[in-house]
Amino acid sequence: MPDKAFFSFMAPSLLAMILFIALPIGSVFLQSLFVEHSQVMKTVETCSPFGGCTDETIVDAEATQALAQAQPLGRFNGLGTYTDRNHLAFDDLGRARREADTFGEFLSAIMNLRFYRALVFTIAFTAIVTPFVLALGLVIALAVNMLPRMTKGPAIFVSLLPMIVTPLVGSLILAWIVDAEGILGATLQTLFKDPDLSLKASPTLTWIMLFIYGIWHATPFSFIVFYAGLQTVPRDTLEAAMIDGASRAQRIRYVVVPHLMPLVTFVLLIQLMDNFRVFEPIVGFSADANATSLSWIIYNDLRGGETTLFGSAAATSFLTLVGVIILLIPVLIRTWRDHNSKPA
Amino acid sequence: MSAASQQHPISMKFAAFGLVLFWLMLAGGPFLWTVWGSFKVQGDFFSKSDWTNAIYGIRTTIETGGPFTGQGYSGAWIEQEFWRATLNTFIVVLCTVTISLTFGTLGGYALARSGRR
Amino acid sequence: MKQTMKTSLYAGALVLLGSVAHAGCGVTSGNVNILGNDFPALQAVADEAIACAHDGMKVEANLTTEHREIMSPALTANPAEYNAVFIANSQLMPLLAKGLIRPLDDLVAKHGQNLAPNQLIRVDGKIVSVAFMANAQHLFYRKDILDQVGARPPESYEDVLAVAEKIRAAGKMEHPVALNTKVGWNLAEEFINMYLGHDTPMFKAGTAEPAINNDAGVSTLNTLKALTGYSNPDYLTFDSNTTQALWESGDLALATMWGSRGTAILDDEGSNAAVVSSTIQSGAPTVAGGSKPATSLWWNGFSIATNTSDEDAEAAFVAMVNGISTDMVKANNDKAAWLIEGYEPNVATAGIVASMEAGASPYPMLPYMGVMHTALGGELVDFLQGNESAKQTLSDIEAAYTTAAREKGFLE
């Protein structure tokens, strides 16, 4: 394709990507390097309906506004926000290393820092949910493939529901069911004869519940991709394998799975990205007492509290971006190699 | 169309059927339960004392005179103005899908057709 | 004949004047746009303000639970999207710090004759807001259950714990206690309320440096932990909707809830007669042998935006004053603990009034209080789940607060 045509076809996408992806990321990174100006404070008399009039400290609005207008971006903080206690916490890590007597103590000191706590959960979520989703999706695709033709359609439709419904709605629906007073929660209490059993009360059970939600939500995606792939398995190769005496399991292992490998890479890529930005289940299950994720602490900085911490949220966003890139490097290298080895 | 080579043993078919049924219960069950509960009042579906209230609709009968009620739907659609949210979502979906499909198809075509690496 | 003509003319003129006086409320033109939270009391005030609308004057209200997020950006725009806002005391200082609300002294002088002096919120000598209702968290208890275990109504949180133990020992309820302990804003609010009952300041005087790592802080944490010991294990997910639902289902005997929930609990929806008839609301309990109720007092009021024309500001002020008129209070007496003349305290708001009269502190109106509130919300969980000691938790809270305060510019 001639260069001019190539660029004119690519131009809209390139422009959109620069405007909506590259520039915002650059702006967020810039924001993460600044903190707010020092608030100029003064003591004045404040009168309220209760407690009469007292002397209180308030912010001197004019002086602070003057500072803000002189330097709109704020105070330059360099990489200070990245290394403060809310993020990589180098100071606290160093102190923990010096003061901890055992490795267990060091570990609990790390988990006390919110960024590492969120990082551990996010990585655990990604590492556990992704392989399960791949395996379950394949198994269900194989099973649905064996159904009589009439029932395939409805089966596929119902299977897709967990993925189609908005993640927040899906997690709320499951939260109501597993709640200690909900149908599943109460049944579990009866089953285990423990009236205090609550999936939302203990951190371990909360994590397991969130992992199960993640698998429930993402399996339809891998199911539908593998199911589509199964329709294109070359029948001749299958028959040849059967003539050679291969059993069912061997046929699946040596013919079907290798044929689906490119799809596996595709689903793996998408799942790694999706699971790394887990957020909705933590809100839906009100699980932030026991499990927080990187996306969740960004949301908490911006919307969760009384104050908005833009710089802190920007720094966490950028660190999340770096994390996703690191996670995807192996998959991207593999895809690049496959692409290069194909004939032009 | 099903050649002898494609036939599966009956036991395998049963196993597959059972697995798919179990999965469909997991996938669709919560939504069925929620649709059923959407016709009950809050005191039943979110009952703190007995979850079986949601099946029989005990508080629904007390508060609205029957085991099923459209209160939830009128509350959501009219009072909370869910129709407005639906309209907004529809506008966003229409515009996003149209624009991104167009841009993406053009770019994808260019990438696929070019001999560049 | 002439006499009757004159009388009827006078009568006609009076009627006309009367209707004009309400429609328009004495303002000929202006554009009023109100923003606020969405609950029945504010809806009542907004409706009354909207009644002022007429041909030359538009009055609209946007009451939404998202008001906190959109208020600051909406008021920064010039002209501001909303010129009258309903605020709670925690929102006043941040809005003042950015200069988003204007002084109301001249408007009060012109149109605020009916306002009581304690409704006027003054900062640095200028009136910045007009309060009209009070709210506070206080104690709700079930008289019938307390009678069954032979307990007196609790006056302090130590009493609450003793009564809870009696109820559990008698086998009546395993988890009789609930507070609004949802992780985040609610849990932090419970800590602040309990801490205020110790009558110790949270910050070093005149500075933004935290000072909660002391005996009062430890006592607060231990009391909270003891209370959650008598709560349902899911207590870290209990926001005010959940505690209300729990109360209405009859599963609780002692709860600390917002007074504004009183009306909803005492009505017929969601609850049965036995629970409703035996629910008593009393003032907030004291703690650690102190005499101050362990709660914070909140007021809701209105303010007028800076970035709006003087004409619109006056129209908004007049509409708002009309919204908090004595007529509105008489029609909506039960919806809130009004600070307005003509309000008659009743059983639904007894707890708020009792807490006020017992000398509870207002929620601290300091500009860095929000930072402390957020820091508390994140760090308290570790202590309540038994992962950390009280001292360690308090120093974690102070460290989290210091980091955030540095970023917001309150500390160096």
Cβ atoms of C15 and C21 within 8 Å: the answer is no
CB contact under 8 A, A200 and C121: no
Q: Tokens standing for C344? A: 């008659």
| Residues A143-166 pLDDT 10s | 999 888 898 999 999 999 999 999
A312 neighbourhood in chain C, CB within 8 Å: 404, 407
A66 neighbourhood in chain C, CB within 8 Å: none
Q: Is the pLDDT of residue C7 over 60?
A: no
How far apart are alpha carbons C329 and C261 in whole angstroms?
A: 18
Per-residue pLDDT, C266: 83
CB contact under 8 A, C269 and B43: yes
A238 neighbourhood in chain B, CB within 8 Å: 5
- Range scoring the smallest mean pLDDT among A274-283, A325-334, B90-99, C159-168: A325-334
C370 vs B: CB within 8 A: no
CB contact under 8 A, B111 and A159: no
Q: Is the pLDDT of residue C23 over 60?
A: no
Task: With CA atoms as reference, report the closest residue to A316 among A112, A28, A74, A110.
Answer: A28
Per-residue pLDDT, C11: 47
Tokens 């004949």 label which residue? C1
Pairing mode, strands A41-47 and A75-76: unpaired
Per-residue pLDDT, C2: 56
Mean pLDDT of C353-375: 90
B93 vs A38: which has the higher pLDDT: B93
How far apart are alpha carbons A11 and A5 in whole angstroms?
A: 10
Q: Which residue range(s) make up the domain with C37?
A: 21-135+298-345
Q: Is the pLDDT of residue C19 over 50?
A: no
CB contact under 8 A, C249 and B59: no
Please state the domain extents for chain B.
81-117
Q: Subunits with at least 3 CB pairs below 8 A relative to chain B?
A: A, C
Q: Compute the half-sphere exposure of residue C232: CA atoms within 13 Å on the CB side of its CA.
A: 28
Q: Is the pLDDT of residue C95 over 60?
A: yes
What ipTM does the predicted assembly reach?
0.87
Q: What are phi and psi of C101, to 5 degrees?
A: -125, 150
Per-residue pLDDT, C397: 95
Mean pLDDT of A259-288: 92
A283-to-A167, A169, A212, A315, C242 alpha-carbon distances in Å:
10, 10, 15, 22, 15
Per-residue pLDDT, A296: 95
Same-domain pairing of C63 and C201:
no
Instruction: State the best of B24, B35, B102 to mutate against chain A, taking most chain A CBs within 10 Å.
Output: B24
Per-residue pLDDT, C97: 87
Number of CB pairs, chain B paired with chain C, less than 8 A apart: 19
Question: What confidence category does residue A342 fall into, taking pLDDT thresholds of 50, 70 and 90?
Answer: low
Q: Which of A247-256, A274-283, B106-115 tops mean pLDDT?
A: A274-283
| Residues A62-75 pLDDT 10s | 888 888 889 988 89
Which strand (E) or helix (H) includes residue B45?
Answer: helix B42-45
B20 neighbourhood in chain A, CB within 8 Å: 140, 143-144, 147, 155
Q: Which residue of B has its CA nearest to A180?
A: B48
Torsion of CA A274, A276, A279, A280, to 10 degrees: 30
Same-domain pairing of C34 and C155:
no
A236 vs C: CB within 8 A: no
Q: Buried b / exposed e across A268-296, counting CB within 10 Å, b at 16+?
A: bbbbbebbbbbbbbbbbbbbbbbbbbbbb
Sign, CA dihedral A116-A122-A128-A131, equals negative
How far apart are alpha carbons C99 and C214 in whole angstroms?
A: 35
Per-residue pLDDT, B2: 44
C367 neighbourhood in chain A, CB within 8 Å: 39, 41, 57-59
Rama region for C120: left / alpha / beta (φ>0; ψ in -120 to 50; rest): beta
Q: Which residue of B has its CA nearest to C245?
A: B48
- Does residue A87 sit in helix, strand or coil? coil
In the DSSP assignment, the letter for residue B80 is S
C118 vs A: CB within 8 A: yes
Q: How far is CA C145 from the centre of its chain?
A: 29
Mean pLDDT of C352-369: 89
Per-residue pLDDT, C3: 56
CB contact under 8 A, B115 and A165: no
Query: Nearest by CB to A12, which of B34, B103, B116?
Result: B103
- Range scoring the smallest mean pLDDT among A240-254, B26-40, C60-74, C259-273: C259-273
Instruction: State the best of B99, B103, B106, B117 to mutate against chain A, taking most chain A CBs within 10 Å.
Output: B103
C123 neighbourhood in chain A, CB within 8 Å: 44-47, 58
A53 vs C: CB within 8 A: yes
How close is the nearest chain C Cα to the Cα of A45, in Å?
Answer: 5
Number of CB pairs, chain A paired with chain B, less than 8 A apart: 92
| Residues A96-134 pLDDT 10s | 888 888 888 888 889 889 999 999 999 999 999 999 999
How far apart are alpha carbons C48 and C44 in whole angstroms?
A: 6
Same-domain pairing of C340 and C396:
no
Q: What is the 3-state secondary structure (H, E, C) of chain C?
A: CHHHHHHHHHHHHHHHHHHHHHCCCCCCCEEEEEEECCCHHHHHHHHHHHCCCECCEEEEEEECCCHHHHHHHHHHCCCCCCCEEEEEHHHHHHHHHCCCECCCHHHHHHHCCCCCHHHEEEECCEEEEEEEEEEEEEEEEEHHHHHHCCCCCCCEHHHHHHHHHHHHHCCCCCCCEECCCCCCHHHHHHHHHHHHCCCCCCECCCCCCECCCCHHHHHHHHHHHHHHHCCCCCHHHCCHHHHHHHHHCCCCCEEEEEHHHHHHHCCCCCCCHHHHHCEEEECCCECCCCCCCCCEEEEEEEEEECCCCHHHHHHHHHHHHHHCCHHHHHHCHHHCEECCCCCCCCHHHHHHHHHHHCCCEECCCCCCHHHHHHHHHHHHHHHHCCCCCHHHHHHHHHHHHHHHHHHHCCCC
- Range scoring the smallest mean pLDDT among A41-55, A192-206, B94-108, C268-282: C268-282
Per-residue pLDDT, A249: 83
Per-residue pLDDT, C24: 58
How close is the nearest chain B Cα to the Cα of C49, in Å?
Answer: 21
B47-to-A168, B42, B58 alpha-carbon distances in Å:
22, 7, 10
CB contact under 8 A, C98 and A65: yes
Mean pLDDT of A180-193: 86
Per-residue pLDDT, A49: 85
CB contact under 8 A, A307 and C131: no
Tokens 């075509």 label which residue? B109
How close is the nearest chain A Cα to the Cα of C385, in Å?
Answer: 9
Q: Which residue of A has its CA nearest to B11?
A: A146
C371 vs A: CB within 8 A: yes
A269 vs C: CB within 8 A: no
C11 lies in some domain:
no
Same-domain pairing of C333 and C310:
yes
Q: Is the pLDDT of residue B114 over 80?
A: no
Same-domain pairing of C237 and C362:
yes
How close is the nearest chain C Cα to the Cα of B115, in Å?
Answer: 50
Mean pLDDT of C94-100: 89
For the domain bounded by A113-336, which CATH number is listed? 1.10.3720.10
Query: What secondary structure does DSSP assign to A144-196, as a single string?
Result: HHTS-HHHHHHHHHHHHHHHHS-HHHHHHHHHHHHSTTSHHHHHHHHHTT-TT
CB contact under 8 A, A50 and C360: yes
Q: Is the pLDDT of residue A6 over 60?
A: yes
**Chain B, window 62-101: residues with a beta carbon less than 8 angstroms from a chain A beta carbon:** 99-100
CB contact under 8 A, B47 and C249: yes
How far apart are alpha carbons C175 and C375 in whole angstroms?
A: 28
Q: Say how many domains are in chain C.
A: 2
Mean pLDDT of A285-312: 89
CB contact under 8 A, B24 and A220: no
Average pLDDT of chain C, as a whole number: 87
Q: Is the pLDDT of residue C21 over 60?
A: no
CB contact under 8 A, A180 and C371: no
Per-residue pLDDT, A15: 94
Question: What confidence category does residue C304 fall into, taking pLDDT thresholds of 50, 70 and 90?
Answer: very high
Mean pLDDT of C104-131: 91
| Residues A221-252 pLDDT 10s | 999 999 999 999 988 988 898 898 888 888 88
C60 lies in some domain:
yes
**Chain B, window 22-41: residues with a beta carbon less than 8 angstroms from a chain A beta carbon:** 23-24, 26-28, 30-31, 33-34
Chain B interface with C: residues with Cβ < 8 Å: 41-43, 46-49, 59, 63
Task: With CA atoms as reference, report the closest residue to C211 among C368, C69, C355.
Answer: C368
Q: Is the pLDDT of residue C66 over 90?
A: no
Cβ atoms of C243 and C225 within 8 Å: the answer is no
How far apart are alpha carbons A55 and A60 in whole angstroms?
A: 14
Same-domain pairing of C39 and C102:
yes
Same-domain pairing of C149 and C57:
no
B42 vs A: CB within 8 A: no
How far apart are alpha carbons C251 and C85 in whole angstroms?
A: 38
Q: Is the pLDDT of residue C271 over 80?
A: no
Asked if residue C73 has a cis previous peptide bond (ω within 30° of 0), the answer is no
Instruction: State the best of C251, C408, C410, C411 to mutate against chain A, taking most chain A CBs within 10 Å.
Output: C408
C362 neighbourhood in chain A, CB within 8 Å: 48-51
A10 vs C: CB within 8 A: no
Other CB atoms within 10 Å distance of the CB of residue B32: 12
A303 neighbourhood in chain C, CB within 8 Å: 69
Per-residue pLDDT, C169: 93
Per-residue pLDDT, C4: 55
A21 vs B: CB within 8 A: no
A49-to-C102, C119, C370 alpha-carbon distances in Å:
19, 6, 20
Same-domain pairing of C28 and C108:
yes
Task: Residue C147: give its domain's CATH number.
Answer: 3.40.190.10
In the DSSP assignment, the letter for residue A2 is -
Q: Is the pLDDT of residue C15 over 60?
A: no
A177 vs B: CB within 8 A: yes
Task: With CA atoms as reference, report the closest residue to C281 among C291, C266, C295, C293.
Answer: C266
Task: With CA atoms as reference, report the closest residue to C390 among C403, C377, C379, C405.
Answer: C379
Mean pLDDT of A138-145: 93
Q: Is the pLDDT of residue B47 over 60?
A: yes
How close is the nearest chain B Cα to the Cα of C154, in Å?
Answer: 26
How close is the nearest chain B Cα to the Cα of C149, in Å?
Answer: 22
CB contact under 8 A, A179 and C234: yes
CB contact under 8 A, A289 and C381: yes
